[in-house]
Amino acid sequence: MSLRWRIALSMAAIAALVSAFGATAAYLNTADRLSASIDESLLAKAADLSFTSGGGPHHDDQGRGDGPSGCPLGGTVEPATAAQTVSRDGTVVQCLDGGVRIPVDHAIVAAALRTGAPRLSSAHVKGARYRIVTIPRSSDTVLQLGRSLDENDGVLNALGIRLLLFAIGGVLAAAFLGWILATRIVSPIERLRKSAEHIARTGDLDGEVPTAGTGEVGSLTTSFATMVEALGESRRRQQQLVADASHELRTPLTSLQTNAELLERGERLTVDQRSQVSEGIQFEVRELTDLVSELVDLARDPASDAEPVASVALDALVTDVVEAARRRTDRSITIDVGNAASVPGRTKALTRAVSNLVDNAIKHGDGTIEVAAHGATVEVRDHGRGIPEADLPKVFDRFYRADVARTEPGSGLGLAIVAQVVERHGGSVFVRNSPDGGAIVGFTLPTG
């Protein structure tokens, strides 16, 4: 069953319950009031015709008294529609011509004679319901007045039919309004479903995703659109990574192929030429190895990183990286980690980030390299020619290299890996030119 039908039927069910409760309450309240009204009218008439404490019959203001056999005079029993006297021995005398005979309950007759108080009871007479009051008329006789409940039942039946019709109308109206409301609620979800089916069928993440709706539905459609946009951006980045990787791999592969072809004519090469070709092959292999390793690092899912997060002392980490760099290069590298902090992070990933910063300075800078860690900030400065202002916002992009650095070794992925590691740690990267010359590249990590 669709959500639209569920909402409509739920509203109809709620309306049915409310209508049933309200109709039942109204019906019972009306029945109670009608019964109370009949009882009051019979008791009032009983009080008017009751046996007086002085032993004689009561006379009203108009001088009406008893007729034969202790019956009240004609017309004085209204609104009762049946009247009869009953003696202690069970003799019954009907007081109204054409009136029905009320069934005699001897226990009620005895109780009325004993207490002198009226007694109310109900009985069925010829298939009709009657309400009966029994009152003493003498020491041995009671008067029974009966009123048919046909009129009362007719009113209640008519009321019941009306309440039922009103309830049915209310349920239908609630179902109709529920259908309209459900349509308004479900329409954005239906459009979202069609959009999801289109994406699943075509793989098109660039189409417009509907974001209509209010409240939770609007939030759902907006979140779905944001998710699709993020997936589209992720796919575009993957495609760009593949395209850039293909471009970057082509150069060393072409060089390797050229050198391999030269080796095929090894008998024509001098010893020095063969040595140069061999060195060229080794260099391109190293470049390919570094490029593939960096591509793997960039493509790795952060969720697959099994290294746990722990407290990382930046002074020790930076010192280890600098010592390793000094062993593999003859460049002068200074270090300042006197007030470095400890941060939560993954040691291997942060070591790779700092190593890439130092390697970047070694490849593209001149003179002494200065490495410093202040608090949760690590920065590396070289004394080279600096970075053109137009290139500063792009240095952390994948495969990006400034025009002045295109002839230098490297893949352009080192700083992109730094940015990715820092981003996964919740930090931020920065780059600027030093007023005294050279570039300063680094990052800042959260401390908590």
In a domain, 182, yes or no: no
Token pair 């004609």 is found at: 74
| Alpha carbons 447 and 376: distance in angstroms, whole number | 7
Angle, nearest 10°, between helix axes 150-202 and 215-264?
A: 10
Domain CATH for 291: 1.10.287.130
In a domain, 422, yes or no: yes
CA atoms within 13 Å, Cβ hemisphere of 38: 24
| Alpha carbons 184 and 403: distance in angstroms, whole number | 57
DSSP notation for 345-376: E-HHHHHHHHHHHHHHHHHH--S-EEEEEEET
What residues make up the domain containing 265? 215-299
Token pair recorded at residue 122: 């109900």
Token pair 């995703």 is found at: 209
Distances (CA, A) of 413 to 92, 265, 366: 118, 35, 20
Asked if 82 and 57 sit in the same domain, the reply is yes
Give residue 381's pLDDT. 92
In a domain, 295, yes or no: yes
Largest Cα span, the chain: 159
Q: Which residues contact 345 (CB under 8 A, 6 or more apart)?
A: 309, 310, 312, 425, 445
Give residue 220's pLDDT. 73
* Beta-carbon count within 10 A of 111 CB: 15
Asked if 18 and 116 sit in the same domain, the reply is yes
Token pair recorded at residue 358: 């130092």
What is the identity of the amino acid at 33? R
Asked if 311 and 291 sit in the same domain, the reply is no
The model carries a pTM of 0.47
In a domain, 178, yes or no: no
Asked if 347 and 440 sit in the same domain, the reply is yes
Domain C-terminal end among 155, 189, 224:
155
Q: Nearest-CA neighbor of 278 among 267, 266, 288, 289?
A: 266
Give residue 59's pLDDT. 42
In total, the chain counts a number of residues equal to: 448
In a domain, 26, yes or no: yes
Give residue 311's pLDDT. 92
Asked if 7 and 150 sit in the same domain, the reply is yes
Name the 3-class secondary structure at 11.
helix
H-run or E-run covering 3: helix 3-49
Distances (CA, A) of 295 to 298, 299, 345, 405: 5, 6, 22, 20
Give residue 92's pLDDT. 87
Asked if 79 and 134 sit in the same domain, the reply is yes
Domain CATH for 314: 3.30.565.10
Asked if 403 and 261 sit in the same domain, the reply is no
Give residue 436's pLDDT. 83
In a domain, 339, yes or no: yes
* Beta-carbon count within 10 A of 136 CB: 21
Give residue 411's pLDDT. 53
Domain C-terminal end among 299, 323, 354:
299
Asked if 288 and 397 sit in the same domain, the reply is no
Asked if 27 and 132 sit in the same domain, the reply is yes
User: What total of structural domains would you count in the chain?
Assistant: 3
Domain C-terminal end among 281, 299, 317:
299
Asked if 131 and 234 sit in the same domain, the reply is no
Which tens digits make up the pLDDT trace of 256-280?
A: 788 777 777 767 777 777 787 787 7
* Beta-carbon count within 10 A of 192 CB: 20
The sign of the torsion formed by the CA atoms of 36, 41, 46, 48 equals positive
In a domain, 177, yes or no: no
Name the 3-class secondary structure at 122.
strand
Asked if 129 and 28 sit in the same domain, the reply is yes
Give residue 245's pLDDT. 65
Give residue 403's pLDDT. 46
In a domain, 45, yes or no: yes
Q: Which residues contact 204 (CB under 8 A, 6 or more apart)?
A: 198
How is the chain split among helix, strand and coil, in percent rounded to 5? 55, 15, 25
DSSP notation for 282-350: HHHHHHHHHHHHHHHHHHS-GGG--PPPEEEEHHHHHHHHHHHHHHH--S-EEEEEEEEPEEEE-HHHH
> Tens place of pLDDT for every residue, the chain, 448 residues?
677 777 778 888 888 888 888 888 988 998 899 989 988 888 888 888 765 433 444 444 333 445 555 677 666 778 888 888 889 888 888 887 777 888 988 899 999 888 888 999 989 888 888 999 998 888 888 888 888 888 888 888 998 899 888 888 888 888 888 888 777 777 777 777 777 777 777 777 666 666 666 666 667 777 777 787 777 777 777 776 677 667 566 766 777 788 777 777 767 777 777 787 787 777 778 767 766 766 666 666 554 556 788 999 999 999 999 998 888 788 899 999 888 889 999 888 898 889 889 988 888 877 889 999 999 999 999 888 888 888 888 888 876 655 444 445 445 677 888 888 899 889 999 999 988 888 899 999 998 7
Asked if 386 and 257 sit in the same domain, the reply is no
